[in-house]
């Protein structure tokens, strides 16, 4: 008889613990810092699993389940209320970009400060890019190899037409 009562008490205790755990509100993670599948430092959603690219934060699209990536407290007065690791300040401090656009071989700052020293120390051009000083404002140190041998000058020194394999 005592055994049955003990088992019942244990079941009741377990039920109370379950209810208590389930009733806890989903709390925001203490740190929003996370690593995205592409190895960028990103923004952690309340589910503590989804890691957004910096450029998905305050982009007017709800990418976290509860829209916490678009919170007014963070998205007003951009970029000042964003966590610092989500942004990169360009050479001209009036301009900023999302940190995942740094070292992507595209001139997002407009002055290439996101692709060149001293503000950005980026790895050399990837395999499918050709290193040269581009004619096009869109690029900085490399051009896509698809622009090689296309009959158009894309590098200042014409290496895209005469050297690029
Ligand atoms: Ca978003
Ligand atoms: Ca860039």
Going from N- to C-terminal start, the domains of the chain cover 28-103
Which residue has tokens 């004619």? 135
Name the burial class of residue 92, with classes exposed (0-12), middle (13-18) and buried (19+) by CB atoms within 10 angstroms of its CB.
exposed
Q: Backbone phi, then psi, for 52, in 5-degree steps?
A: -85, 150
- Report the pLDDT value the prediction gives residue 13, as an integer from 0 to 100: 65
pLDDT at 96 over 90: yes
Q: What percent of the chain has pLDDT over 90?
A: 81
3-state secondary structure of 160: helix
Å from CA of 43 to ligand 1 middle: 10
> Which of 27-31, 87-91, 132-136 has the lowest average pLDDT?
27-31
Measured from the alpha carbon of residue 68, the closest ligand is: 1
Å from CA of 143 to ligand 2 middle: 13
d(CA 137, CA 117): 17
**Smallest Cα–Cα separation from 105: which of 125, 135, 86, 90?**
125
pLDDT confidence of 10, banded at 50, 70, 90?
Answer: confident
- Report the pLDDT value the prediction gives residue 30, as an integer from 0 to 100: 87
Number of Cβ within a 10 Å radius of residue 148: 19
| Mean pLDDT, all residues of the chain | 91
pLDDT at 63 over 70: yes
Å from CA of 37 to ligand 1 middle: 17
Å from CA of 26 to ligand 2 middle: 36
Residues with CB under 5 A from ligand 1 (ion): 56, 59, 61, 63, 69
Average confidence (pLDDT) over 57-67: 97
pLDDT confidence of 7, banded at 50, 70, 90?
Answer: low
- Report the pLDDT value the prediction gives residue 107, as an integer from 0 to 100: 98
d(CA 117, CA 45): 33
Å from CA of 105 to ligand 2 middle: 5
pLDDT at 26 over 70: no
pLDDT at 12 over 70: no
């Amino acid at each position: 008889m005592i055994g049955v009562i003990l088992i019942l008490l244990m079941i009741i205790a377990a039920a109370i613990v379950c209810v208590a755990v389930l009733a806890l509100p989903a709390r925001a993670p203490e740190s929003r810092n996370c690593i995205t599948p592409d190895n960028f430092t990103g923004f952690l959603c309340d589910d503590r699993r989804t890691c957004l690219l910096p450029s998905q934060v305050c982009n007017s699209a709800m990418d976290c389940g509860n829209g916490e990536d678009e919170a007014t407290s963070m998205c007003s007065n951009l970029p000042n209320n964003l966590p610092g690791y989500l942004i990169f300040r360009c050479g001209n401090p009036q301009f900023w970009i999302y940190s995942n656009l740094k070292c992507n071989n595209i001139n997002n700052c407009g002055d290439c400060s996101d692709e060149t020293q001293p503000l950005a120390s980026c790895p050399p051009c990837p395999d499918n890019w050709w290193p040269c000083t581009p004619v096009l404002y869109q690029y900085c140190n490399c051009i896509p190899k698809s622009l090689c041998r296309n009959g158009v000058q894309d590098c200042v020194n014409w290496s895209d037409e005469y050297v690029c394999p």
